[in-house]
Amino acid sequence: MAPTLLVLAAGMGSRYGGLKQIDPVGPSGETVLDYAVYDALRAGFGRVAFVIRREFEAMFREKIGARYAGRVEVDYVFQSLEALPAGSTPPPGREKPWGTGHAVWCAREVVRAPFAVINADDFYGADAFQRLAGFLRETPPPGAGAQFCMAGFRLAQTLSEHGAVARGVCTAGADGWLQSIVEQTGILPAEVGPGKKYSGDETVSMNCWGFTPALFAGLDAQFREFLAARGGDVKAEFYLPAAVSAMIVRGEAAVRVLPVNSTWFGVTYREDKPRVQAALAALVQAGVYPGKLF
């Protein structure tokens, strides 16, 4: 079964100042997301599911989903504050949904095949999708349990010169299996380099994962635990990297770190846009991508 690409696109881009998922950055009006879908299709993915918010469904279908009509099956998953396990309710004063772990949890009734998870506003590169697809096509040895994967990027290659970023800093064993992820927030370029807080060589998670549907049982259990412990906190978020790390600690899953050669870039801040446009134009000029994707 061809794997599914699950795209987390529900964020409203508060730091960016707009709906960056549909902001054109390519030479023919492509979005960053268009390049991800293009690379995924080349790597053998057969379906795309977008996690979005209900309030911008019509705009997203018209400006994004319609581009892929006739090329790949497209589905939509809706993340909302009220999408919770039975018996749970959001606390008074909470305005936003519950984070990336919650976004993937919302897709549990839609995704049935092995699948990759990515952010809509990150450029991961063709190599990342090829490695994810290769892993997802493998059959784990009998009795191996749930096996997932993660594309690993160097921290120094994932920064924005226009502000702080949050990254999941990873620890892996010599055999390449992930041991833990620690979410670090507020990372500034000035803190990264020789002799500084971060060396820059740390492997980080950019929310570029490969899973099987076995993820959902562990995710559901942890989300319920999270709500019981922190559901009353109007700012608390259920992070996907933290949930995966907990599954490793509990012996519920093993995660292979796949070092990728692609160059990552993203549009965290509006000031990042010119750099992303220049990088994509250079890739088109080098023949890595056609001038018009779809």
Q: How far apart are CA 4 and CA 58, in angstroms?
A: 22
Low-confidence spans in the chain with pLDDT less than 50: 14-17
pLDDT tens-place string over residues 19-37: 666 788 999 999 999 999 9
Burial code (b: 16+ CB inside 10 Å, e: under 16) for 46-83 equals: ebbbbbbbeebeeebeebbbebbeeebebebbbbbeeb
Q: Are 148 and 255 in contact (CB under 8 A)?
A: yes
pTM: 0.91
Give the type of residue at 161: E
| Per-residue pLDDT, 18 | 54
Q: What are phi and psi of 73, to 5 degrees?
A: -70, 135
pLDDT score, position 223: 97
β-pairing, 73-78 vs 47-52, is parallel
Report the chain's terminal Cα–Cα distance, integer Å: 24
The pLDDT value recorded for residue 20 is: 63
DSSP state at residue 212? -
- In contact, 7 and 118? CB cutoff 8 Å: yes
> What per-residue confidence (pLDDT) applies to 150?
96
The confidence score (pLDDT) of residue 155 equals 93
| Whole-number pLDDT of residue 151 | 96
Q: Which of 3.20.20.70, 3.90.550.10, 1.10.10.10, 1.20.58.340 is the CATH number of 4-285?
A: 3.90.550.10
Domain boundaries, the chain: 4-285
User: At residue 265, what are phi and psi to the nearest 5 degrees?
Assistant: -155, 155
